[in-house]
């Protein structure tokens, strides 16, 4: 059955409730979304669609999830999530519970002038032109996945950095699931970095229960204006019963810099789409990803990087370590449009299969319509070097330890590229714990991290 | 646009003549266009086939009816009217030539012009040739010599009559009629092709070669090649093709099946030079081919080498199913596109056997307004331990209006596999051109030199006789097109 139908029905039945609890700017998106979804043959991509062979998004959306269309404010105890936090990262924190934005006091008190972090609803009142200019303009609203988000989204998050403002402290957005019933979160994020500004964003996905099914469907739109610099790190540490369909869309103005890092540590089934359009001249783009799979985790990243301008460079590096019967997929497409000259685009995908039942599917692609380019992609799938393990064992390192060390070393080049201060260390720590299988509860944790209570900040 | 670019574009600009574009005026029997069960029955009847063959064709035809036209390739294929094509065309003959004297002299002249030594004395240069004109195998040379060794090299229609057990056993065992749209079509209407059987322990003493030629207009060519190398056998097989220059598009949908048994080795080389259409993209052959080899035996080896310069549209993925333990698959390809040509070509390496290895080297060269894609699959089955694959695909772009694309699919389901893929895309380095210019080599020649050097890795894999032809073909193509 086509899962779109249940969401269309939900919308039709609750149209007024949704629209009343939302704002005109968001409501404006719904008309187009409805047309797209009602079109004959419109459906969410499934296993038969090129590019979605390993993750059936339609099946992901098929179960009956609860959608918080009334905008009920759910109580949350963030300290649950931060028990294991490594305190060296100093950020301005905001929480998104389900799909409701909750700013913390630190955030509100310490936001530098010119930086706005607020709900989309508030933003559409305070800066309607900006929201209207970008919202729904960067994402491809004609894709069923995006249209569904636009149709059901009630509110979202807006990060705005004014012209010339350099936000030094990273802004951390923590997405939390904590409902006792299966829930789908419809998240929408709009990031606008005006000319010559800079901002660092850290998104963390958490669940506070691992006995409930969640579906995280988000659309993130990022506008990097001329000369601006944006750094986004997205870390998923949810639960084995969490499904995630994340769609990130960015566009870049002249001489801008963008860096996106996607990290999947704990999850159920994840599909991340990174759609990066480089439209300005002289841009620099970095797209990294890292995935650690165990048990029956499934991680599927898809990147589409379009060079439509001159003198730009882009780099992509995705690394996977897959254990047990986990599944990994990577599809990366670089397109150099006709007339786009002097571009350099590189892509690399390296994978380690650490167990017999693990599977990796890789599809790096190049679409080149111009001769003045330097493009390459590389992909390898292999295993840990037995000789290296033997060497370490000879020197008294137990086999398990040796394996963990090698896997950690494998991930280092991604971790070290993270530029948010303190985050590299934190990631290194998280990755180490992940490889040691100590990801679940604080009580079992052997790392002597100091529990912090950020509850006071609320 | 830099000065250098202008120069390259100038070179790309003028078109060389396709020297195989002539039409031979010989009596040809063509059945009316259209495809139906009657046509399938008619073809089968014309060829005097046994009942089981007709059943095979009809099954394929009925299955074909249920299939949609595939559209997934990165190709812009105009709608093909399958009812407007004639599915059988053959040079008229009374009984089938007993000796060369009975062959239509016009036909002999044609093959002479193509440089194919049909006459026995010429053939002593060391190649056994099976020439296929339109849909029918015209003449196979050197049969007696081969027969002494027990090697069967004949047209597939003869094989169906004379060696039904072998054909029954192997036909459709690698490429089933259910494989894809064009394989189903071919299975229903194939008219001729070559059959090769190398018995156990025999090393074929000469290169075997088939030459395909489409001559009649309004026809398609659907040939079928079946090669079986029994235990410890070895054969090197060459295939060449040309067609007259016509304004219409002609369809060529062939199937090549290869079975390689224990420790046997098959080397399959193609120089594909179908008519590519004119500068504006009018006419040319649609080359939709299914080629696949099954390395069934342990330590068997199959090597594909292809030089693709012709065809308006190429859709072709010579593949290896590496089922035997320690079996080896190789794929070496140079694909050149120019003007409005389109190519979506590559390979599939399906590893199901333990310790099987494969190497893929693909070099694409695109010029003019052409689109050249590499599409390949490397698949490692869950039980295939110790698999090794190395893939390298490079693209060279000449001119700013062409496209070079890469779509590799890598599916690894076993943790002991090592799979590597590398691809690069770039244009001819200005520095290299400048270096050549400095030393008095004109840009056009320099481009030729660089491209030949670039393709050398693959050219070296071709058998001697072919390498010379391929090299000449490549520089000829380059001369007019740098493409």
CA distance A282 to chain B (A): 18
Cβ within 8 Å of residue A382, ≥6 positions away: A351, A352, A353, B417, B418, B419, B420
- The whole-model pTM stands at 0.81
- Backbone dihedral region of A159: left (phi > 0), alpha (psi from -120 to 50 degrees) or beta? beta
pLDDT surpasses 90 at A253: yes
Q: With cut-offs at 50, 70 and 90, classify the pLDDT of residue A4.
A: confident
Which residues, 6+ apart, have CB-to-CB distance to B439 below 8 Å?
Answer: none
CB under 8 Å to B351, separation ≥6 — which residues?
A: B322, B358, B378, B379, B380, B381, B384, B387, B389, B417
Q: From the CA of B113, how many Å to the nearest CA of chain A? A: 37
Find the CB nearest A371 among B72, B419, B427.
Answer: B427
Say whether residue A329 is in contact with chain B using an 8 A CB cutoff.
no
Strands B89-91, B28-30: parallel, antiparallel or unpaired by DSSP?
antiparallel
Whether the CB-CB separation of B351 and B321 falls below 8 Å is answered with no
The reply to whether residue B412 touches residue A360, judged by beta carbons under 8 angstroms, is yes
Question: Quick check: A196 pLDDT over 70?
Answer: yes
Say what the pLDDT of residue A458 is. 36
Which residue in chain A is spatially nearest to B9 when comparing CA positions?
A371
Q: Tell me the average pLDDT of chain A.
A: 85
What pLDDT does B4 receive? 42
**Quick one: pLDDT at residue A454?**
36
Query: A363 and B409 in contact by Cβ < 8 A?
Result: yes
Most confident of A19-23, A287-291, B98-102: A287-291
- Beta strand A373-382 with B418-427 is antiparallel
Q: Is A265 left (phi over 0), alpha (psi -120 to 50) or beta?
A: alpha
- Cα separation, A161 vs A192, in Å, equals 6
Per-residue pLDDT of chain B (483 residues; tens, 9 = 90+): 344 444 444 444 444 566 666 666 666 677 778 888 888 888 888 888 888 888 888 888 888 888 888 888 888 888 888 888 888 777 665 444 445 555 556 666 665 655 555 554 344 344 556 666 655 555 566 677 788 888 888 888 888 888 888 888 888 888 888 888 888 888 888 877 888 899 998 888 877 877 776 666 667 778 888 999 999 999 888 887 666 666 677 888 888 999 999 999 999 988 887 777 777 777 788 888 899 999 998 999 999 988 888 888 888 899 999 999 999 999 998 888 888 888 899 999 999 999 999 999 998 888 888 888 999 899 999 888 889 999 988 888 887 888 888 888 988 888 888 888 888 888 887 888 889 999 998 887 888 888 888 888 888 877 766 677 677 667 666 555 443
Determine, for residues A353 and B417 on separate chains, whether the beta-carbon distance falls below 8 Å.
Answer: yes
Joined together, the tokens standing for residue A389 give 């393990």
Contacts of A270 (CB under 8 A, 6+ apart): A236, A243, A244, A246, A264, A297, A298, A299, A300
Chain A CB contacts of B378 below 8 Å: none
Contact B312, B283 (CB under 8 A): yes
Distance between A356 CA and the closest CA of chain B, angstroms: 5
Q: Cβ–Cβ contacts within 10 Å for residue A237, how many?
A: 19
Chain B positions touching A356 (Cβ under 8 A) are: 382, 414-415
Three-class DSSP category at B71: coil
How many residues does this entry show for chain A? 458
Q: Which residues contact A26 (CB under 8 A, 6 or more apart)?
A: A120, A121, A124, A135, A150, A153, A154, A155, A156, A188
**Per-residue confidence (pLDDT) for residue B8, from 0 to 100:** 45
The answer to whether residue A126 scores a pLDDT higher than 60 is yes
Distance CA B42, CA B46 (A): 6
Mutate which of B403, B416, B482 to disrupt the A interface (most A C-beta within 10 Å)?
Answer: B403
Q: How far apart, in Å, are the Cα atoms of B461 and each of A254, B198, B307, B388, B472?
A: 47, 22, 11, 20, 15
Q: What is the distance between the alpha carbons of residues A92 and A50, in angstroms, rounded to a whole number?
A: 40
Contact A383 B415 (CB under 8 A): yes
CB-CB contact of B31 with B39 (8 Å): yes
pLDDT band at A78 (very low <50, low <70, confident <90, very high): low
What's the gap in Å between the CA of A7 and the closest CA on chain B? Answer: 30
CA dist A457 and A455 (Å) reads 5
Contact (CB<8Å) A355/B415: yes
Torsion of CA A411, A413, A417, A421, to 10 degrees: 60
Q: Taking Cα atoms as reference points, which of A125, A195, A130 lies closest to residue A159?
A: A130
* CA dist., res. A34 & res. A150, Å (int): 9
Q: Of A145-149, A209-213, A336-340, which range is least confident?
A: A209-213
**3-class SS at B251?**
strand
The per-residue pLDDT for A245 is 93
Which chain B residues touch A374 with a CB distance below 8 Å? 424-426
Q: Could you give phi then psi for residue A182, rounded to 5 degrees? A: -55, 125
Chain B closest-CA separation from residue A142 CA (Å): 21
What pLDDT digit, counting tens, does each position of A346-397 carry? Answer: 999 999 988 888 889 998 888 888 888 888 888 888 888 889 999 999 999 9
A311 torsion bin: left (phi>0), alpha (psi -120 to 50), beta (else): left
A413, A419, A420, A425 alpha-carbon torsion, rounded to 10°: 30
| pLDDT digit string, tens, across residues A407-444 | 889 999 898 888 887 788 888 888 887 787 665 444 33
Rounded Cα distance, A204 and A244, in Å:
13
pLDDT at A448: 41
Of residues A67 and B95, which shows the higher confidence score?
Answer: A67
Whether the CB-CB separation of B129 and B209 falls below 8 Å is answered with yes
Of B348, B354, B347, the C-alpha closest to B323 is: B354
| CA nearest to B407, candidates B423, B420, B418, B396 | B423
Pair B466, B238: CB distance under 8 Å: yes
pLDDT one-digit tens code per residue, A171-183: 888 888 888 888 8
B412 to A366: CB separation less than 8 angstroms, yes or no: no
Residue B167 and residue B175: Cα distance in Å, rounded? 13
Provide the token pair at B126: 């060391």
CB count in 10 Å sphere of residue A110? 12
Taking contacts as CB-CB distances below 8 angstroms, the residues of chain B near A310 are none
Average pLDDT over residues A335-344: 89
Inform me whether the C-beta atom of residue A49 falls under 8 Å from chain B C-beta atoms: no
Looking at mean pLDDT, say which of A8-22, A79-93, B112-126, B128-142 comes out highest: A8-22
Nearest CA to B318 out of B255, B365, B262 is that of: B255
Enumerate the β-bridge partners of residue A215.
A184, A243
**b/e B45-83 (16+ beta carbons within 10 angstroms → b):** ebbebeeebbebbbbbbebbeeeeeeeebbbebeeeebe
Of the candidates B399, B418, B425, which has its C-beta nearest A368's C-beta?
B425
Tokens of B371: 């689109």
- Give the total residue count for chain B: 483
Please write down the HEC assignment for all residues of chain A.
Answer: CCCHHHHHHHHHHHHHHHHHCCCHHHHHHHHHHHHHHHCCCCCCCCCCCCCCCCCCHHHHCCCCCEECCCCCCCCCCCHHHHCCCCCCCCCEEEEEECCEEEECHHHHHHCCCCEEEEEHHHHHHHCHHHHHHHCCCCCCCCCHHHHHHHHHCCCCEEEEECCCCECCCCEEEEEEECCCCCEEEEEEEEEEECCCCEEEEEEEEEECCCCCCEEEEEEEEEEECCCCEEEEEEEEECCCCEEEEEEEEEEECCCCEEEEEEEEEECCEEEEEEEEEECCCCCEEEEEEEEEECCCCEEEEEEEEEECCCCCEEEEEEEEEECCCCEEEEEEEEEECCCCCCEEEEEEEEEEECCCCCEEEEEEEEEECCCCEEEEEEEEEECCCHHHHHHHHHCCCCHHHHHHHHHHHHHHHHHCCCCCCCHHHHHHHHHHHHHCCCCCCHHHCCCCCCCCCCHHHC
For residue A40, what pLDDT is reported?
82
ipTM above 0.95, yes or no: no
């Amino acid at each position: 059955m086509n899962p779109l139908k249940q969401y269309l029905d939900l919308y039709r039945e609750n149209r007024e409730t949704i629209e009343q609890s939302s704002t005109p700017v968001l409501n404006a998106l719904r008309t187009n979304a409805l047309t797209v979804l009602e079109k004959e043959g419109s459906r969410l991509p499934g296993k038969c669609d090129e590019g979605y062979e390993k993750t059936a998004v339609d099946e992901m959306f098929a179960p009956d999830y609860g959608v918080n269309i009334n905008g009920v404010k759910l109580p949350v105890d963030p300290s649950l999530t931060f028990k294991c936090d490594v305190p060296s990262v100093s950020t301005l924190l905001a929480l998104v519970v389900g799909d409701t934005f909750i700013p913390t006091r630190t955030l509100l008190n310490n936001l530098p002038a010119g930086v706005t972090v607020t709900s989309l609803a508030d933003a559409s009142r305070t800066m309607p032109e900006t929201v209207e200019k970008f919202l729904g303009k960067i994402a491809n609203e004609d894709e069923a996945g995006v249209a569904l988000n636009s149709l059901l989204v009630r509110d979202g998050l807006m990060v705005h950095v004014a012209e010339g403002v350099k936000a030094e402290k990273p802004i951390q957005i923590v997405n939390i699931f904590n409902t006792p019933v299966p829930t789908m979160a419809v998240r929408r994020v709009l990031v606008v970095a005006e000319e010559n500004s800079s901002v660092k964003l850290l998104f963390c996905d958490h669940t506070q229960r691992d006995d409930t099914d969640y579906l995280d469907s988000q659309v993130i739109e990022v506008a990097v204006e001329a000369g601006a610099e944006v750094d986004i790190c997205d870390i998923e540490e949810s639960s084995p019963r969490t499904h995630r369909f994340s769609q990130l869309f960015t566009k870049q103005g002249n001489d801008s810099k963008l860096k996106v890092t996607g990290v999947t540590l704990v999850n159920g089934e994840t599909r991340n789409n990174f759609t990066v359009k480089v439209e300005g001249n002289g841009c620099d783009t970095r797209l990294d990803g890292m995935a650690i799979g165990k048990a029956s985790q499934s991680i599927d990243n898809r990147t589409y990087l379009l060079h439509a301008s001159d003198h730009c460079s882009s780099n992509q590096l995705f690394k996977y370590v897959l254990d047990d019967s986990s599944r990994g997929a990577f599809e990366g497409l670089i397109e150099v449009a006709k007339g786009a000259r002097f571009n350099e685009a590189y892509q690399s995908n390296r994978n380690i299969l650490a167990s017999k039942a693990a599977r990796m599917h890789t599809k790096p692609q190049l679409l080149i319509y111009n001769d003045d380019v330097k493009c390459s992609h590389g992909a390898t799938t292999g295993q840990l070097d037995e000789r290296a393990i033997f060497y370490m064992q000879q020197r008294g390192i137990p086999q398990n330890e040796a394996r963990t060390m090698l896997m950690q070393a494998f991930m280092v080049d991604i971790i070290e590229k993270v530029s948010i201060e303190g985050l590299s260390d934190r990631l290194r720590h998280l990755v180490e714990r992940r490889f040691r299988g100590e990801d679940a509860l604080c009580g079992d944790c052997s790392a002597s991290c100091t529990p912090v209570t950020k509850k006071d900040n609320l | 646009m830099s000065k250098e670019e202008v120069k390259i574009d100038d070179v790309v600009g003028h078109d060389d003549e396709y020297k195989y574009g002539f039409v031979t005026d010989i009596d040809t029997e063509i059945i009316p266009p259209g495809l139906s069960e009657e046509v399938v029955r008619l073809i089968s009847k014309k060829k005097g086939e046994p009942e089981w063959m007709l059943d095979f064709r009809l099954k394929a035809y009925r299955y074909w009816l249920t299939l949609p036209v595939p559209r997934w390739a990165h190709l812009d294929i105009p709608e093909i009217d399958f009812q407007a094509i004639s599915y059988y065309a053959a040079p008229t003959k009374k009984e089938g030539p007993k000796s060369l004297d009975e062959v239509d002299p016009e036909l002999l002249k044609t093959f002479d012009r193509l440089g194919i030594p049909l006459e026995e004395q010429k053939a002593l240069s060391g190649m056994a040739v099976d020439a296929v004109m339109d849909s029918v195998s015209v003449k196979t040379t050197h049969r007696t010599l081969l027969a002494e060794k027990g090697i069967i090299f004949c047209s597939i229609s003869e094989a169906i009559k004379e060696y039904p057990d072998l054909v029954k056993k192997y036909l459709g065992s690698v490429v089933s009629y259910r494989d894809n749209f064009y394989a189903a079509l071919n299975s229903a209407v194939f008219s001729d092709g070559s059959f090769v059987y190398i018995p156990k322990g025999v090393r074929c003493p000469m290169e075997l070669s088939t030459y395909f030629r489409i001559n009649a207009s309004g026809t398609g060519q659907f040939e079928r090649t079946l090669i079986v190398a029994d235990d410890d056998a070895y054969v090197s097989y060459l295939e060449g093709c040309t067609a007259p220059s016509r304004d219409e598009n002609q369809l060529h949908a062939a199937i090549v099946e290869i079975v390689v048994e224990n420790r046997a080795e098959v080397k399959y080389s193609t120089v594909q030079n179908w008519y590519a259409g004119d500068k504006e993209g009018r006419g040319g052959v649609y080359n939709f081919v299914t080629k696949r080899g099954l390395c069934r035996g342990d330590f068997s080896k199959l090597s594909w080498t292809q030089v693709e310069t012709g065809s308006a549209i190429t859709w072709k993925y010579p593949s290896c199913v590496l089922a035997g333990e320690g079996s080896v698959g190789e794929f070496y390809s140079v694909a050149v596109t120019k003007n409005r040509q389109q190519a979506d070509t590559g390979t599939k390496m399906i590893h199901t056997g333990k310790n099987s290895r494969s190497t893929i080297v693909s070099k694409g060269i695109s010029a003019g307004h052409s689109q050249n894609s590499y599409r390949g699959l490397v698949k490692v089955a869950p039980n295939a331990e110790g698999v090794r694959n190395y893939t390298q695909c490079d693209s060279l772009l000449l001119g700013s209006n062409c496209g070079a694309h890469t779509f590799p699919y890598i599916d690894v389901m076993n943790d002991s596999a090592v799979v590597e893929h590398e691809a690069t895309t770039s244009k001819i380095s200005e520095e290299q051109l400048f270096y050549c210019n400095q030393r008095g080599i004109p840009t056009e020649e320099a481009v030729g030199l660089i491209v030949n050097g670039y393709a050398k890795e693959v050219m070296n894999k071709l058998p001697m006789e072919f390498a010379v032809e391929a090299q000449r073909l490549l520089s000829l193509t380059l001369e007019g097109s740098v493409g």
